[in-house]
Amino acid sequence: MRKIIVLEFISLDGVIQAGGGPDEDTSGGFKYGGWVVPFGEKVIGTVIREQMNLRFDLLLGRKTFDIWAPYWPKHSDAWPGVMTATKYVASNTISSHEWQPSIFFNGDIAEKIKNLKEQPGPDLHVYGSANLVQTLMKNDLIDEFWLKIYPVTLGSGKKLFADGTMPASFKVTECRVTPGGVIVVNYERTGEVKTGTF
């Protein structure tokens, strides 16, 4: 079975919106686009390259696909794998695109992703795609979170853990802190939430 792995840049207050630039996603009046950029450092670059060089397919929301489709074909020397990975895109508005290989699906997204997980193939990496990630969490479809937690609060914006998150327990499989204070941490799903008393 394929894993679904969510890779996100996240602020201390849980925002994942528009880390890469001011015009990336201004929906909801978000004005802090590019908040990740001042923290660019060698350690983060190394981690990102390691993750980019794994074998994977992509599972993306339409907005993230719209941002990536004009960008990555022109910058594929930095990430060759993004060109050969199958891009599975959840969208109710588009059904084809020149950036290939891409497969679009709509309707019962959760059921279609459950079926996709059961097919043979590489793990499915989810970048950005805030609305899709909410659907994945509500339907208990995420196996791992690979997070880069930045020492900044943004006050508003699309959150990773919003209403409807399924209760679950995780274990840390990797953790490091960069000199600039970014926490790089990978969490793997371990099961249900356990409770107890002190």
List C-alpha distances in Å: 2 to 35, 57, 59, 123, 147: 32, 10, 12, 5, 19
Mean pLDDT of all residues belonging to the chain: 94
List C-alpha distances in Å: 61 to 89, 117, 128, 172: 6, 16, 8, 26
pLDDT 10s per residue in the chain (198 long)?
999 999 999 999 999 999 999 999 999 999 999 999 999 888 888 888 899 889 999 999 999 999 999 999 999 998 999 999 999 999 999 999 999 999 999 999 999 999 999 999 999 999 999 999 999 999 999 999 999 999 999 999 999 998 778 899 999 999 999 999 999 999 999 999 999 999
Distance of CA 190 to the CA centre of its chain: 20
List domains and CATH numbers for the chain.
4-191 (3.40.430.10)
Are 165 and 159 in contact by the 8 Å Cβ rule? The answer is no
Are 96 and 28 in contact by the 8 Å Cβ rule? The answer is no
Pairing type for strands 144-150 and 183-191 reads antiparallel
